[in-house]
Amino acid sequence: MCRIHLFFRIFAPANHQTTIIMEQNVKSLIIIGSGPGGYKAAAYAASNGISVTVFEAHEAGGTCLNSGCIPTKALCHDAGLARLGVPTDFSVVRQRKDAIVAQLRNGVESLLAQPGITFVRERATIVDDHTVVAGDGTYTADRIIIATGSKAKLPPIPGINLPGVMTSTELLALTEVPRRLVIIGAGVIGLEFADVFAAMGAEVTVLEFMRECLPQMDSDIAKRLRKQLERKGIAFELGAQVKDITGSAPQLSVAYERKGKPLSTEADTVLVATGRAACVDDFGLEAIGVEVSRRGIVVEPHTMRIPGHDIYAIGDVNGLQMLAHAATFQGYRAVNDMLGRTDSIRLDVMPAAVFTQPEAAAVGPTEDQLKAEGAAYVCHKRFFRSNGKALAMGQTEGIVKLITDTDDRIIACHVLGPHAADIVQEVAALICCNATLAQLRDIVHIHPTLAEVLLEA
């Protein structure tokens, strides 16, 4: 019982505890998918008296837990040890990763076994706004939440299905480190795996179609991170358009064109990291007239409700913000809408991070976006090399960019450096409170900490 109680304290957002409950007409809920959006929405709904049935066609916990965020971060941790000279046996690294995933998956399964939640290990197909079929059964509820997540997006490159060409899911299942790894795509997934496998001893080449890696992040941060990864021996080919993949593992050849010049590189393994696509196929959306755009299921952005239906879509499947924590809070918002509640969740303030070493993290608009919009702003910069804790850690490479509007209100933060995600999280909280730079300046920070770099900025 204590274990389940702990999950509630973790997953139920604190600000909801004081919200006044209006008349509740929703008594039952079906959730399709048990990733962070699905299982946390289930726990929150059940804690508010709604009977929940969760359907999962694969493993509890979804992509994030089983083949995404969690196993990748376990590898990032061990890659950091390898760079410090700690002997690394890849079989031990894999065992540790798998043990972490298993432990957390067991926790999710315990959560889904609590009173008020029924967990059905079947693929569900939607019949109408209140009915799904799964296995040999038919299930009904007042509302439905679709939380089916996303899958790796594979571009139409000849040879994309050759043995040895894989997505992040298959790469995580490798039993040994490839000697030569070519990564197609320099987004978050591509860079994290590049950093991990380079630390483990692989020769890594990253091919990116755009002019810079991490195109959604601040261009200054992205460039600085790329240069640090290059110093680690990772090769980048920017503006590279992949033409085809030939050969057979471990003798694959990736042909690409850069500045009109045909080039190629050899690999034992090729990782395709060109983004994610919403999982919207084969569970009944067309039959009930749900609109699906290029990004995913179309929803009302403030409620996550599908227009004209008693169905909600949260997380990657709606394509609004493909982040695990976005799915979680979209789920809370959807349940609140069912309960007739208002909340103070700021879905427009969505921090994100890249867990390379050094980390990169951001919240709010980039300088590039503000310039394109013609917005007035002030950018305050500070480098980690003057921070005492960073010096003590031996991690002085990095920068903080704190952005304010003309009223001194904090609107964004972009960080490259040690524990960048934690620093950005502090600023995300300040943005949600509409804090000014002057107010931040008056907040006492522990010395010595990395977060002092914010005061210095």
Total domains in the fold of the chain: 3
Same domain for 109 and 73: yes
Give pLDDT tens digits for 352-361. 999 999 999 9
Separate counts of helices (H) and strands (E) for the chain: 14, 23
Q: What is the reported pTM?
A: 0.92
Q: Give CA 294 to chain center in angstroms.
A: 19
Residue 349 falls inside a structural domain: no
DSSP code string of 302-331: TT-BPTTSSEEE-GGGG-S---HHHHHHHH
Residue 101 falls inside a structural domain: yes
pLDDT for 186? 98
Q: Tokens for 345?
A: 């969740």
Is the confidence at residue 1, as pLDDT, over 50? no
Residue 347 falls inside a structural domain: no
pLDDT band for position 6 (cuts 50, 70, 90): very low
Q: Tokens for 387?
A: 């921070």
Residue of higher predicted confidence among 200 and 25: 200
Is the confidence at residue 21, as pLDDT, over 80? no
Same domain for 370 and 333: no
Same domain for 192 and 256: yes
pLDDT for 115? 96
pLDDT for 414? 98
pLDDT for 55? 98
From the list 91, 80, 92, the residue with the least C-alpha distance to 199 is 80
Is the confidence at residue 325, as pLDDT, over 60? yes
From the list 176, 187, 261, 274, the residue with the least C-alpha distance to 226 is 187
* CA dist 266 → 239, 252, 261 (Å): 18, 6, 17
Q: Which of 58, 130, 302, 447 is catalytic?
A: 447
Residue 64 falls inside a structural domain: yes
CATH number at residue 179: 3.50.50.60
Q: Distance between CA 191 and CA 179 in Å, rounded?
A: 17
DSSP code string of 152-213: E-----TTTTSTTEE-HHHHHT-SS--SEEEEE--SHHHHHHHHHHHHTT-EEEEEESSSSS
Domain boundary among 220, 241, 274: 274
Give pLDDT tens digits for 63-101. 999 999 999 999 999 999 999 999 889 999 999 999 999
Same domain for 104 and 56: yes
Q: Range of 427's domain?
A: 358-456
Q: Distance between CA 327 and CA 41 in Å, rounded?
A: 9
Q: Distance between CA 109 and CA 86 in Å, rounded?
A: 34
Is the confidence at residue 19, as pLDDT, over 50? no
Longest CA–CA span in the chain (Å) reads 66
Average pLDDT over residues 242-265: 96
Our CA dihedral for 205, 209, 213, 214, rounded to 10 degrees, sits at: -130
Is the confidence at residue 9, as pLDDT, over 70? no
Same domain for 298 and 199: no
What's the chain's average pLDDT? 93
Catalytic (active site) residue 130 = no
Is the confidence at residue 443, as pLDDT, over 90? yes
pLDDT for 24? 60
Same domain for 192 and 70: no
Q: Distance between CA 433 and CA 431 in Å, rounded?
A: 5
pLDDT band for position 366 (cuts 50, 70, 90): very high
Same domain for 281 and 267: no
Q: Distance between CA 62 and CA 94 in Å, rounded?
A: 19
Residue 345 falls inside a structural domain: no
Average pLDDT over residues 36-46: 98
CATH number at residue 440: 3.30.390.30
Is the confidence at residue 184, as pLDDT, over 70? yes
From the list 63, 238, 267, the residue with the least C-alpha distance to 162 is 267
Residue 352 falls inside a structural domain: no
Residue 266 falls inside a structural domain: yes
pLDDT band for position 418 (cuts 50, 70, 90): very high
Same domain for 452 and 423: yes
Same domain for 216 and 81: no
Same domain for 195 and 141: no
Domain boundary among 228, 251, 274: 274
Same domain for 33 and 145: yes
Residue 434 falls inside a structural domain: yes
Domain boundary among 235, 259, 274: 274
Q: Tokens for 18?
A: 């004081």
Give pLDDT tens digits for 229-249. 999 999 999 999 999 999 999
Same domain for 442 and 304: no
- Residue 218 is given by DSSP the state -
